[in-house]
Amino acid sequence: MTALTLYHEFPDPDLEDSFRSLDFYYSEIVAMLSDGGVHRFNELKRKLGKLSSNTLSSVLKRLVSDGIVNRLVIPSIPPRTEYSLTQKGMELSRIIAEYFDWLRRWHNISTE
């Protein structure tokens, strides 16, 4: 029985939200943070290219609320905010990496 079949037989709103959360930017940010380092907002924005600050902020808030990303505000002038993966996020990053590998093998899609 596949996960999708199981979901259709036993619908769960929480599970549906989990599937919905795996959108492109959500996955892309998790993949970026998977190096285990700490990254700042503007660094992530530069790496993501055309993504607006509002969209990045929204996705980061969702990642933090989902327990995937840690957010640390450093009281300095100006204040700095740093992001890193939680243990839950590191586990998700391995799953996303496997998915990207699958895409490269079967769909000739570059994910870099």
Q: What is the pLDDT of residues 35-75, one digit of tens each?
A: 888 999 999 999 888 888 998 999 999 999 999 999 999 99
The domain at 24-105 falls in which architecture? Orthogonal Bundle (1.10)
Mean pLDDT, to the nearest integer, of 81-87?
96
- Residue 98 structure tokens: 């496997």
CA distance 35 to 41: 16
What's the token pair of residue 104? 């490269």
pLDDT interval class at 14 (50, 70, 90): low
Q: Is the pLDDT at 7 greater than 70, yes or no?
A: no
The two structure tokens encoding residue 6: 């199981």
The model's pTM is: 0.72
Is residue 82 a contact partner of residue 40, using CB atoms and an 8 Å limit? yes
